[in-house]
Amino acid sequence: MTPPRLADRLLHLFCAPDRLEEVQGDLHEEFQYQFRRVGARRARWRYWRDVLGFIRPFASRRKSKEYQKIIPFDMIQNYFKIAWRSLQRNRLLGFINVAGLSLGMACSLLIGLWVWDEFQVDKGLPDGDRLYLVRLTDGAYTSDILPGPLAEALKKDVPEVDKATKFTVWSNDFLLRAGNRFGKKVGLYASADFFDVFQYPVLQGNPGLAIQSPNAIVITRNVAQAFFGNSQAVGKTIQLNNEKYYRVGAVIENVPQNSSVQFDWIVNFSEAEEGWMKTWNNNAFRTYVKLKNGSTQAGAEARMAGLLPRYQTGATAKPILQRLGDVYLYGEYTNGKPTGGRIEYVRTFSLIALLILLVACVNFMNLATARSSLRAKEVGIRKVVGARRLSLIGQFMSESLLLNVFSAGLAVGLVQLMLPYVNPLVDKQLAIDFTAPLAWGSLLALIGVTSVIAGSYPALVLSVMQPARVLKGALSSTPTGAGFRKTLVVFQFSLSIFLIVGMLIIGRQMHYIRTKQLGLNRQDLLHVAVEGNLRPRMEAFRQELQRSDAIQAVTTTGELPIRIGSTGSLDWPGKDPKTDASVSTMKVGVDFTKTLGINLLAGRDFTAADTSNYLVNESAVKMMKLENPIGAEVTFQRGKGRIIGVMQDFHLSSFHEPIRPLVLSNYPKWTNYFLIKTQPGKTEEAIQVIEQTARQLNPGYPFDYHFVDEEYEKLYRSETLVNTLINYFGILAIFISCLGLFGLATFTAEQRTKEIGVRKVLGASVGGILVLLSKDFLKLVFVAILLASPVAWWAMHRWLQSFTYRIDIEWWMFALAGLLAVAIALLTVSFQSIKAALMNPVRSLRSE
């Protein structure tokens, strides 16, 4: 049995070369003895104990001073004693360093937890490296909402594809009922090979077999416990939407929160499948494939290139693949290639974490180099009595390590306190797993990196001092590292100004998004699901609501008007075969434009008789190049019909995307929501009317409603998160910078105490002394403004490019950021400056 290799390497590091063989032999002999006596595990621990010196070496060496010279643990222990005493002598500067480092570390740990969670989305599924999302691209536009028959065509015509599955784009929040238990759960309609592609841990039954049956349902652990407790769920019955009964065919583990495919239950398409689901010109599905072992993405895409023209005349788009693990982070496409998405936020906040940590380290370096003249004699005496430069570096690095260990402990405590408030903000369940080696490794790495960054420059500067000059007092009037300190102050405030500009511009853009006219009126607009007995009684429900004085108008829609995803292919007489006629589509009911306040530029809204006519928006008219669109014949999902109205363009989704051509069909059967416009100031009364009517016509369902504004806010959840976090982190970075500036101002005032006393004796005013002490710092802030402004403009300009509709960056934003930075710096410095200026000169000059 051999002792731990890493412990032997440490022995090589500390042990004198001429004694290494002897000491190593003794330790190995003791290890073999302990191995025979107490076993391998405890012997290894005791070997580590002996090597690291946590207890004195074994009996024959316990009192030997010679052995202590071989492994100089006393010297290392001495480093930390001196470091601790140095902290006690300079408690204010020590507090500033610990506070800055702990805040910087806490920020980095929080962002690190969030970044790690982001990278774990869609990770961990079996055969995850073979799973791909299918997208369609024509070069200019890329979409993951695909026609229904594509999945079967991929399995049939692309040899590289092993399995393919599709499921509905929309998630169905349906009522589930089992006995006297009921509740709404989110589910999917999927094809029969869903569980061949997505393999989740199975608790009961066979999900792959169950989903092939039109009468079976697969549920998750949460649903099984909610409806059946701890008893066997397979074989029992669940009613879906108070309509069809399904037999529970399998129970799977809960879908991980960090999965992009979320559901509580899943059933086969066959019961819901209709003709439009089988046509190539209706896009309403997401499709995933599993490639065969050995097949490559490039090979599969090459086979797919000419697939669509075989089934759809004139099709120009081609399928492309995106690895499942990349879908969440790389969701934006340009010219058919992934160009960004969520990964931009991950990179941004990773950079912010690094910069804030650097700001905290800068505080340490600034204050350590500022104190160099005070410690110069200590260094000089150490060198005179024989200390080498390596020993001095070890001393100052030990101080840095000690501070960082304290700061890391405080940072972990801060993170634990902040997580309950941060998790709701980021909509995650972040936590530090103290049982995971990765968590401890990351914490140790953080301590090591910050110790080296914070302590390296002061250690190198102080250890190079010449003892002759130091002991003569040559360094007393010229503090070491003054130029470097100024550079660090400029860096700190450049970052602060950058973040202030970011806070201003992102806040303005979010205000613009919330207040810009969408082309429709979402105020006082709420939606109620079309479910249960409301579906056959849709018109009765609508008419009953319109009798109330608290309600302006009621309509129905298949999709909410701020997240339209379905597309279809439009045809009209004289269409150029090369024209891309893919348009967004909505299935709606009567009074749609009236309810949403959409401006009709020509024509009229739907009536009940308009079963084959269409409404289009301005962009669709421009695409078709129609001079007189009203009455023009077009062919769309419901067959041939005529355009009866032209709507002013309104936003179909977020401001990241341009307004696309839109065609509306009057098809109440396939609508899923009632859109209800209430009278201003009568929202509560309207809700009471809606609830009362819903309970009368649909007694088997719990009443539920949502405001369209809430759904609109969800479109910008990422941007709202960025806005909130950059505000918090910006304030934190400014606070850390101010801590360092306060420490420097305090030290500077102490160093110039006698100078201030002399100036006051000679007649200097308090204001003059205040200007004298503040102007050097303010000069550095002005330099930071000049350096940070162009960088901030470039970064914010690039961020705004992701929005099709955005604000302009104006000069006053940078001026305001600069004024705020100057004001913050002046307030930070002025406290110590005023204190020094008001000091009695007798006290400052009494030692002269």
Q: Are the C-beta atoms of residues 557 and 589 closer than 8 Å to each other?
A: yes
Q: Where are the beta strands (DSSP E) in 192-243?
A: 202-205, 216-220, 237-240
3-state secondary structure of 544: helix
Report the distance separating Cα 377 and Cα 473, nearest Å: 8
Closest CA relative to residue 799, chosen from 726, 741, 708, 742: 726
Torsion angles phi and psi, residue 587, rounded to 5: -100, 120
pLDDT in tens, 75-133: 556 666 666 666 666 676 677 778 888 888 888 899 889 889 888 888 888 888 899 99
Report the distance separating Cα 574 and Cα 425, nearest Å: 53
Q: Is the pLDDT of residue 218 over 60?
A: yes
Q: Name the one residue in this structure whose structure tokens are 């969670």.
A: 117
Alpha-carbon dihedral sign for residues 620, 622, 624, 630: positive
Q: Where are the beta strands (DSSP E) in 752-826?
A: none
Percent of the chain with pLDDT over 90: 10
Task: Decide which of 372 and 332 is more confident.
Answer: 332
pLDDT of 60: 40
Judging by DSSP bridges, how do beta strands 673-678 and 551-557 pair with one another?
antiparallel
Structure tokens, 670? 């396939």
Torsion angles phi and psi, residue 568, rounded to 5: -150, 170
pLDDT in tens, 741-757: 776 776 666 666 677 77
Reported as a pLDDT band with limits 50, 70 and 90, residue 12 is: low
Q: Are the C-beta atoms of residues 285 and 167 closer than 8 Å to each other?
A: yes
Report the distance separating Cα 734 and Cα 501, nearest Å: 12
DSSP string, 150-171: HHHHHHHH-TTEEEEEEEESS-
Rg over CA atoms, the chain: 35
- Indicate left, alpha or beta for 340 from its phi (over 0: left) and psi (-120 to 50: alpha): left
List Cβ neighbours of 175 (8 Å cut-off, separation of 6 or more): 182, 183, 184, 240, 241, 242, 531, 532, 700, 701, 702
pLDDT of 384: 67
Q: Are the C-beta atoms of residues 593 and 645 closer than 8 Å to each other?
A: yes
pLDDT in tens, 643-697: 889 998 887 776 667 788 888 888 888 788 899 999 988 888 999 999 999 888 8
Torsion angles phi and psi, residue 441, rounded to 5: -60, -40
Structure tokens, 217? 């349902």
Amino acid at 19: R
Average pLDDT of the residues in 637-643: 84
**Structural domain boundaries in the chain:** 5-71, 128-327, 344-512+717-845, 532-700
List Cβ neighbours of 93 (8 Å cut-off, separation of 6 or more): 367, 371, 743, 746, 747
Reported as a pLDDT band with limits 50, 70 and 90, residue 237 is: very high
Report the distance separating Cα 208 and Cα 609, nearest Å: 45
Q: Are the C-beta atoms of residues 247 and 169 closer than 8 Å to each other?
A: no
pLDDT in tens, 756-798: 777 776 777 766 777 777 777 788 888 888 998 999 899 888 8
How confident is the prediction for the chain on average, in pLDDT?
79
Closest CA relative to residue 662, chosen from 620, 701, 613, 600: 620
Torsion angles phi and psi, residue 783, rounded to 5: -60, -40
Structure tokens, 236? 């029992």
Q: Is the pLDDT of residue 247 over 90?
A: yes
3-state secondary structure of 584: strand
Percent of the chain with pLDDT over 70: 79
Ranges 161-170, 275-284, 348-357: which has the least confidence: 275-284
Report the distance separating Cα 329 and Cα 236, nearest Å: 40
Report the distance separating Cα 50 and Cα 73, nearest Å: 12
Q: Is 28 exposed, middle or buried (0-12, 13-18, 19+ CB in 10 A)?
A: middle
Report the distance separating Cα 56 and Cα 183, nearest Å: 66
List Cβ neighbours of 71 (8 Å cut-off, separation of 6 or more): 11, 14, 15, 23, 53
Average pLDDT of the residues in 604-623: 87
Q: Where are the beta strands (DSSP E) in 191-325?
A: 202-205, 216-220, 237-240, 244-252, 265-268, 282-291, 318-323
pLDDT in tens, 514-539: 777 777 777 888 988 888 788 888 88
Report the distance separating Cα 805 and Cα 780, nearest Å: 37
pLDDT of 223: 92
Reported as a pLDDT band with limits 50, 70 and 90, residue 264 is: very high
Average pLDDT of the residues in 347-373: 76
Report the distance separating Cα 341 and Cα 121, nearest Å: 14
List Cβ neighbours of 658 (8 Å cut-off, separation of 6 or more): 804
Average pLDDT of the residues in 166-181: 81
Q: Is the pLDDT of residue 712 over 60?
A: yes
pLDDT of 37: 77
Q: Is the pLDDT of residue 177 over 90?
A: no
Report the distance separating Cα 330 and Cα 2, nearest Å: 49
Closest CA relative to residue 198, chosen from 324, 326, 327: 324
Report the distance separating Cα 772 and Cα 803, nearest Å: 47
Structure tokens, 393? 């570096």
List Cβ neighbours of 525 (8 Å cut-off, separation of 6 or more): 595, 596, 675, 676, 677, 678, 707, 708, 709
- Which strand (E) or helix (H) includes residue 621? helix 618-624
Q: Is 421 exposed, middle or buried (0-12, 13-18, 19+ CB in 10 A)?
A: exposed
pLDDT of 66: 45
Reported as a pLDDT band with limits 50, 70 and 90, residue 375 is: low
Question: 496 to each of 491, 757, 827, how far by Cα in Å?
Answer: 9, 34, 15
Torsion angles phi and psi, residue 261, rounded to 5: -105, 110
pLDDT of 131: 93
Report the distance separating Cα 673 and Cα 733, nearest Å: 46
Q: Are the C-beta atoms of residues 200 and 253 closer than 8 Å to each other?
A: yes
Amino acid at 164: A
pLDDT in tens, 550-607: 999 999 988 887 777 667 778 888 777 766 677 888 888 888 888 888 888 888 988 8
Buried residues in 798-821 as b, exposed as e (16+ CB within 10 A): ebbeebebbbebeeebbeebbebb
Report the distance separating Cα 651 and Cα 583, nearest Å: 14
Report the distance separating Cα 660 and Cα 663, nearest Å: 10
Average pLDDT of the residues in 219-223: 92
Torsion angles phi and psi, residue 603, rounded to 5: 80, -150
pLDDT of 387: 64
Residues in the chain: 848
Ranges 38-47, 434-443, 444-453, 810-819: which has the least confidence: 38-47
Any bridge partners for residue 322, and if so which?
133
Ranges 35-49, 245-259, 543-557: which has the least confidence: 35-49
Reported as a pLDDT band with limits 50, 70 and 90, residue 224 is: very high
3-state secondary structure of 188: strand
Longest dimension (CA), the chain: 106
Predicted TM-score (pTM) of this structure: 0.72
pLDDT of 739: 75
Reported as a pLDDT band with limits 50, 70 and 90, residue 288 is: very high
Closest CA relative to residue 193, chosen from 140, 236, 223, 152: 152
> HSE on the CB side for 63, CA within 13 Å?
0
